[in-house]
Amino acid sequence: MILKDRNALITGASQGFGEAIATEFVKNGASVAICARDLDKLAQVEKKLKGIAQKEQRIIAIKSDISVENDVKKFIDKGIEFFGKIDIFVNNAGIYGPKGPIENVDSAEWEKAIGVNLMGTFYCCKHIIGHMKKNKYGKIINLSGGGATSPLPFISAYAASKAAVVRLTETIACECREFNIDVNAVAPGALNTRLLEEVLAAGPKQVSESFYNKAIKQKQEGGVPLDLGASLCVFLASTESDCITGRLISAKWDPWKNLEKYRDELDGSDIYTLRRIVPEERGKKWS
């Protein structure tokens, strides 16, 4: 129960990974407010969470479109009114956006993906940070993924927005360090959620033969368990991760369960960050 007496807001929590995060948070003692655009699915998750919550835990579901700034502000204001204080914010809501060669994608759909993945994260951070600064403490967890660390041909809006989310995370972490607000990004791994189903539905012509074949293999093998990434979010939301900030952490590949041991080594280093690589770092002497 390492999140006991903590209050969390979680976006995109009506299904998939967002639901998994909310479930793990409640299992670990947190009270949670969840949001999404689909009110029916949201109500089902709210009922489920209330069914596993202890008597002192509070659960609320609020319909919200995080790509609309006024919706974000209302979600946060209602959360603060309901709980009194917000300790944790998880920016989980995200979409793939259009798929295909850059010259063929619909520009409006490309912008929509940026609106959800990047602008939605920006709006949420913008409107919760003032509250956390007053409390001189907070945890912000932004969802990133493989699109942030390597090119993702034919899914360009997703890749660009997720890379931007990581640099936004690093930047906000620097701004908020003195207020004891930790801001980190999470790469949950290849999950078998609706995003995978989108790739399979798009087919190899839109997402490339190699990416499509990887998706088929992932579907068959089950992908990375949802609760692995959700457990990483629990760690980053707890006091165990205090002062670990400005990092992109992989649920599958990084030793995050022992990361508190390396807190001092992380501080001031560029480990788990996005950085430019120069020839000398690869043993090349081009100068």
Chain center to CA of 71: 19
User: Of these residues, 123, 158, 212, 272, which one is catalytic?
Assistant: 158
Question: Side chain identity at 260, as an amino acid letter?
Answer: E
Is 123 one of the catalytic residues?
no
Which token pair is 193? Answer: 């959620």
Local structure of residue 278 (DSSP, 8 states): P
Identify the sign of the CA torsion 162, 139, 86, 55.
positive
- For the chain, helix, strand, coil in percent to 5 are 55, 15, 35
Given a contact cutoff of 8 angstroms between Cβ atoms, the answer to whether 122 and 165 are in contact is no
Given a contact cutoff of 8 angstroms between Cβ atoms, the answer to whether 223 and 200 are in contact is no
Contacts of 10 (CB under 8 A, 6+ apart): 18, 21, 22, 25, 32, 33, 34, 35, 89, 90, 92
* Residues classed as catalytic: 158
